[in-house]
Structure 1
Amino acid sequence: MIEYFFSQYATYSTLDITLEIVAVIFGLLSVWYAKKDNILVFPTGLVSTSIYVYLLWKWVLWGDMMINGYYFIMSIYGWYHWTRKKGDVVEFPISVISRAEKRMSLIIFIFTVTFVVLVYHYFDKFTTWYAYVDTFLTGIFFVGMWLMAKRKIENWLYWIIGDIISIPLYFSKGFTFTSFQYLIFTIVAIYGYLEWKKNLNNSQIKEI
């Protein structure tokens, strides 16, 4: 069983394996803090994504690398966005996506998928089945991260869909630790949605 899940690591350097484990740990911390609506979601996410950008560049997985590079940038934006206040009141609390944001989400998704397809065609990366899944998955995660940075509860729905797809995807790519990470991500994302929903309902009751 162990050989089945981890045999691919036989050709990896100790440094790369260690970095992947560290990235997984900080990635899990980031999702946990996101679930708790804690701003530490962003600094922990920055550590995880910066490591993954390096590893994925080294492993020539451009789509995944772009996702993590985007996460890194949006984590900086989200960190700033979440700290904005009017006096002692948080300026952008948990909220529901607006019509304009729905349209923007669609635009981000279409633009992202189109861009990744062009990049994959340029580098001739459509050689495996998961390259096609990558294009769709990148669009989902780009929208999810944008909505999280804006503190929209719907971000969790995108994370749940993307995480479920990522479990078998990363395992097939040979990254077992990362695959397990996405399994845990899925569970935490479900609880994250429920917890944010509870907080949102409580805040709406207080406003009445």
Structure 2
Amino acid sequence: MLYDLFLKPYEGYSTLFIVLEAIAAFFGIVSVWFARRNSIWVYPTGIISTVLYVYVLFVSGVYGDAVINIYYTAMSLYGWYVWLNVKGEGQALPITWLHRRSALFTGGFTLANFALFYIILQYYTDSIVPTLDAITTALAFSAMYLMARKKVESWAFWIACDVISVGLYIYKGLGVTALQYLIFLILAISAHFEWVRLYREQQAAQAHPGNTTTKPA
């Protein structure tokens, strides 16, 4: 069974393809680890992973997730800028929760993206899993934007996306990437609680003006 999942699907691929997927998976995991730690290094490591995955996923026929990674790359550049766009000496973009209006917008944005990508994938591509592909695309689009804005809710979107993606990649036969998303899922659950803790620390620091918020590492 392990052979069928992790080795057999790669029989038709070149050694270069396999190496590129492994490198992309490695940097993807490293990127999520940095995100969990609220570190700016989430973005440069993530860009390496997403650029490589654009190629890997297009070759594999998972077009929705290939588009996700193009978007990831663009949003990583945006998030990198936002996280470094300090508002004062020693001040960094704080971790916050969505307000009601922003939450409603995010929900609508997610549903609109699902509808758009489902139509595209169902009628204009040969995607073998258009519904799941569209769901993960929509969830990831919202999650990446929320992370760039340092919203705690970003991790709820990542968790949902990762759960579906594990099954999607097992079905597609990309064992290394399925394993990567399983690790993503574990890290995302941990990161949610870590960001809640960091948010509470920020609130405590604001209650004591003598404390300062440090820049992301």
TM-score by length of 1: 0.93
Q: String of CA shifts for 1:110-153, please: whole Å, max 9, x gaps.
A: 22112212211332436x4x321111121111111110010001
- Aligned: 1:32 with 2:13: no
Q: String of CA shifts for 1:15-60, please: whole Å, max 9, x gaps.
A: 1000000000000010000000000001111010000111222233
In structure 1, the partner of 2:156 is 157
In structure 2, the partner of 1:178 is 177
Contact 2:122 2:130 in 1 (8 A): no
Which stretch of structure 1 is more off in the superposition, 83-92 or 3-12?
83-92
- Once residues 207 and 120 of structure 1 are traced to their aligned partners in structure 2, the CA distance between those partners, rounded to angstroms, is 47
In structure 1, the partner of 2:202 is 203
Matches within 5 A, 1:25-174: 25-125=26-126, 128=128, 130-174=129-173
Q: Which consecutive residues of structure 1, in runs of 5 or more, have no partner in the other structure?
A: none
- Once residues 3 and 99 of structure 1 are traced to their aligned partners in structure 2, the CA distance between those partners, rounded to angstroms, is 48
**Aligned residues with identical type, % of pairs:** 37
* Alpha-carbon distance, 1:89 to partner: 3.6
In structure 2, the partner of 1:2 is 2
In structure 1, the partner of 2:215 is none
Q: String of CA shifts for 1:75-119, please: whole Å, max 9, x gaps.
A: 010000000112224352111112232122123212211221221
Give the alignment's Cα RMSD to 1 decimal: 1.4
- Once residues 191 and 174 of structure 2 are traced to their aligned partners in structure 1, the CA distance between those partners, rounded to angstroms, is 25
One-letter amino acid matched to 2:11: A
- Once residues 109 and 91 of structure 2 are traced to their aligned partners in structure 1, the CA distance between those partners, rounded to angstroms, is 26
Q: Give the number of equivalent residue pairs.
A: 206
- Once residues 155 and 37 of structure 2 are traced to their aligned partners in structure 1, the CA distance between those partners, rounded to angstroms, is 13
One-letter amino acid matched to 1:7: K
Which stretch of structure 1 is more off in the superposition, 86-95 or 158-167?
86-95
Structure ranking higher on relative contact order (CA contacts 8 Å, 6+ apart): 2
* Alpha-carbon distance, 1:161 to partner: 1.1
One-letter amino acid matched to 2:76: S
Could you list the runs of 4 or more consecutive aligned residues of structure 1 that deviate by over 4 angstroms after TM superposition? Answer: none
Contact 1:84 1:90 in 2 (8 A): no
